Amino acid sequence: MSLERRKRGHLLGLLGAPTLFLLVFFFGPLLIMLVYAFLTPGLYGGVDWVFSHLNFGRILGWANTRYETFDPVYIAIFLRSLRLAGLTVLSSLLICYPAAFWISRMRPGLRAFAIFLVTLPFFVSLIVRLFAWVLILRPTGFLNQALMGAGLTSTPVEFLYTDFAVILGMTYVFIPFMFLPLYGAIEKLDMAQIEASFDLGATRWQTFRKVVLPATMPGIVGGSVITFIPALGNFIVPSVLGGAKVLMIGNLIEQQFLSARNWPFGSALAMLVMAAVLVLLLAQTRLARAKT
């Protein structure tokens, strides 16, 4: 009994500080956003404490006033963001999966260096790195000069300010997020299982499908989730590489808080993103539980 109590005391001591931290700095702001989403915008930013359901009405269909009108464009922007974030996950997975295999089979010294290289971009400001991509992708940029120099095209190809540029940029930004969980799963892969699979007559494809893929699935799911969530809310990449023309939900939210001075509508949009992420995380835990 007393041992039980002491254990509980220990636990409280250990978890108390982080719990308090989360309550104040994570749930606190979240709660503020939730409340704001149901208020009226203040004239110069901020909120007026008057209840309003029209912020959601604008997105979902019932608002029809001078300032708050339903427009399907908001859902369309949300769907586009889902698509772009999904494609970002897919392309970074296709790059990182073989790369993680390759690096995990290197000799230890080289391996540490390769992992260091993957995380190297974190040492330079994101904005600087994205402007470097502008220089590469623009019509008179390196990529087009190389293509034209090689005689592959006579006029510059449109790379900059397209969906392609945004997906490329986000893939570039989120590769370390995808790589590290994948690498963790792939490094632990038991080579004996693969050899056994071959010994028992499985083809390369069957071995991959039945042995390698299931064993590395936690890394794939983890990397995908941790890439998808920030990609969905990203607004810097579409603003710099998409020329603010490839509008994503993050840009729309930023616009509400800054130039448009409509915090409640921005909060409502953010709640929509949050709901989508929550559904995704629930689905993931369900899936993980069903597996075990």
Partner 1 sequence: MTHKSPLALSAILLLAPLAASAQERLSLYNWGDYINPAVLDAFTEETGIEVTLDSYGSNEEMLAKIQAGATGYDIVFPSVHMHDILFQLGLLAKTDIGKAPGFANIDPQFVRAKTDPDAEYCLPYAWGNVGIVYNKALAGEITGWEDFFALGEAGKKITLLDDLRETIGIGLIMTGAPVNATDPAQVKAAADYVIEHSAGVTAFTYDSVPQVISGDVAAAHWYVGANLYVSENPDTIGYIIPKEGATMYQEDICVLESAPNKQAAQAFLEFYLRPEIAALNVAQQMNGTPNLPAQELIPAEIAANETIYPSQEVIQSLQIFEDLGRDLQLYNAEWTRIKTSR
Rule CB under 8 A: choose which of 247, 253, 270, 276 binds partner 1. 247
Q: Which is nearer to partner 1, 177 or 235 (CB)?
A: 235
Does residue 262 bind partner 1 (CB under 8 A)?
Answer: yes
* In the complex, least distance from residue 247 CB atom to partner 1, rounded to whole angstroms: 5
Total residues at the site for partner 1 (CB under 8 A)? 37
Applying CB under 8 A, the span of 90-98, 139-147, 172-180, 213-221 interacting with partner 1 comes to 139-147
Q: Is 16 in the site for partner 1 (CB under 8 A)?
A: no
CA dihedral of residues 72, 75, 81, 83 (deg, nearest 10): -90
Q: How far is the CB of 82 from partner 1 (least distance, A)?
A: 15
The region of 36-44, 117-125, 187-195, 224-232 touching partner 1 under the rule CB under 8 A is 36-44
* Minimal distance, residue 255 CB to partner 1, in Å: 7
Write out the DSSP string of the chain: -HHHHHHHHHHHHHHHHHHHHHIIIIIHHHHHHHHHTTEEEPBTBSEEEEE-SHHHHHHHS--BSSS-B--THHHHHHHHHHHHHHHHHHHHHHHHHHHHHHHHTS-HHHHHHHHHHHHGGGGS-HHHHHHHHHHHHSTTSHHHHHHHHTTS-SS----TTSHHHHHHHHHHHHHHHHHHHHHHHHHT--HHHHHHHHHTT--HHHHIIIIIHHHHHHHHHHHHHHHHHHHHH--HHHHHTSTTTS--HHHHHHHHHTTT--HHHHHHHHHHHHHHHHHHHHHHHHHHHHH-
Among 76, 117, 120, 213, binds partner 1 (CB under 8 A): 76
Nearer to partner 1, 224 or 256 (CB): 256
Q: Does 69 interact with partner 1 (rule: CB under 8 A)? A: yes
Q: Single out the residue of 56, 74, 179, 228 in contact with partner 1 (rule: CB under 8 A).
A: 74
Rank residues 227 and 262 by Cβ distance to partner 1 and give the closer one.
Answer: 262
Specify the stretch interacting with partner 1 by CB under 8 A; choose among 19-27, 64-72, 206-214, 275-283: 64-72
| Cβ–Cβ under 8 Å, residues 54 and 224 | no
Residue 32 binding partner 1, by CB under 8 A: no
The binding site for partner 1 (CB under 8 A) comprises 41, 43-46, 66-69, 71, 73-74, 76-77, 131, 134, 138-141, 160-161, 239-240, 242-245, 247, 252, 255-256, 258-262
